[in-house]
Chain A
Amino acid sequence: MDWTFLQETFISLVSAVPLTLLLAANSIALGAILAVGIAVARFSAIAPVRWLAQAYVFVFRGTPLLVQIFIIYYGLSQFPAIRHSLLWPILREPYWCAVLALALNTAAYTSEIVRGGLLSVPFGQVEAARACGMSRFMIFRRITLPLGVRQALPGYGNEMISMVKATSLASIITLMEVTGVAARIISESYRAIEVFIVAGAIYLTINFLLTRLVQLVEFRLSPHLRQPVAVLPAIIEGEAH
Chain B
Amino acid sequence: MTQPGIFELLSFGPGGWGNILLAGAMMTILIALSGYATGAVIGVLGAWAKVRGGPGMRLVADVYTTVLRGIPDLLVIYLLYFGGSAAITAIGRLFGAEGFIGFPGFLAGMLAVGITSGAQHTEVFRGAFRAVHPGEIEAAIACGMPRWLRFRRIVAPLTLRHALPGLGNVWQVVLKESALVSITGVAELLRQAQIAAGSTGLPFDFYLIAGGIYLAISTVSSTVLHRAERHFSRGVRRS
Which residues on A are within 8 Å of B, measured CB to CB? 58-59, 62-68, 70-71, 74-79, 161, 165-169, 171-172, 179, 182-183, 186-187, 190-193, 196, 199-200, 203-204, 207-208
Which residues on B are within 8 Å of A, measured CB to CB? 66-67, 69-75, 78-79, 82-83, 85-86, 172, 176-180, 182-183, 190, 193-194, 197, 201-205, 207-208, 210-211, 214-215, 218-219
Residues from chain B with a CB closer than 8 A to the CB of A183 are 78
A186 to B180, alpha carbons, bound, how many Å?
A: 18
Residue of B nearest to A201 (CB): B71
Complex partner residue of B71 from A67, A193, A204, CB under 8 angstroms? A204
A168 to B78, alpha carbons, bound, how many Å?
A: 11
A58 to B211, alpha carbons, bound, how many Å?
A: 12
Complex partner residue of A168 from B75, B178, B211, CB under 8 angstroms? B75
Q: Report the minimum CB–CB distance from B4 to chain A (whole Å).
A: 13
Residues from chain A with a CB closer than 8 A to the CB of B193 are 67, 70
Residue of B nearest to A202 (CB): B71
Complex partner residue of A71 from B78, B178, B183, B207, CB under 8 angstroms? B207
A7 to B56, alpha carbons, bound, how many Å?
A: 30
Complex partner residue of A172 from B178, B183, B205, CB under 8 angstroms? B183
Q: Report the minimum CB–CB distance from B115 to chain A (whole Å).
A: 12
Residue of A nearest to B76 (CB): A196
Residues from chain A with a CB closer than 8 A to the CB of B219 are 62
For the residues of A in contact with B, the DSSP-based class is: helix
Residues from chain A with a CB closer than 8 A to the CB of B190 are 64, 66-67, 70
Residues from chain B with a CB closer than 8 A to the CB of A77 are 203
Residues from chain A with a CB closer than 8 A to the CB of B69 are 161
Residue of A nearest to B80 (CB): A192
Are B176 and A63 closer than 8 Å at their CB atoms?
yes
Residue among A70, A167, A207 with max Cβ neighbours from chain B (10 Å): A70
Residues from chain A with a CB closer than 8 A to the CB of B176 are 63-65
A-B interface, 10 closest residue pairs, ranked by CB to CB distance from nearest: A192-B83, A75-B204, A168-B72, A64-B179, A74-B203, A64-B176, A192-B82, A196-B79, A165-B72, A63-B211
Complex partner residue of A192 from B67, B86, B182, CB under 8 angstroms? B86
A190 to B176, alpha carbons, bound, how many Å?
A: 28
Given known contacts A165-B72, A192-B82, A203-B70, what 4 new A-B pairs fall within 8 Å (CB)?
A: A63-B176, A66-B180, A161-B70, A203-B72
Quick one: given A78-B201, A168-B74, A171-B74, are A190 and B82 in contact (CB under 8 Å)?
yes
Residue among A66, A68, A169, A171 with max Cβ neighbours from chain B (10 Å): A66
A111 to B169, alpha carbons, bound, how many Å?
A: 17
Q: Report the minimum CB–CB distance from A162 to chain B (whole Å).
A: 9
Would you list 25 pairs from A and B whose C-beta atoms are within 8 A, ordered by A residue?
Answer: A64-B178, A64-B180, A64-B214, A65-B179, A66-B179, A67-B179, A67-B190, A67-B193, A67-B207, A71-B207, A71-B208, A75-B208, A179-B75, A186-B78, A191-B86, A192-B82, A192-B83, A193-B79, A196-B78, A196-B83, A199-B71, A200-B67, A200-B71, A204-B70, A204-B71
Residue of B nearest to A191 (CB): B86
Residues from chain A with a CB closer than 8 A to the CB of B194 are 70
Quick one: given A187-B82, A190-B86, are A200 and B204 in contact (CB under 8 Å)?
no
Are A79 and B74 closer than 8 Å at their CB atoms?
no
Q: Report the minimum CB–CB distance from A78 to chain B (whole Å).
A: 4
Residue of A nearest to B179 (CB): A64
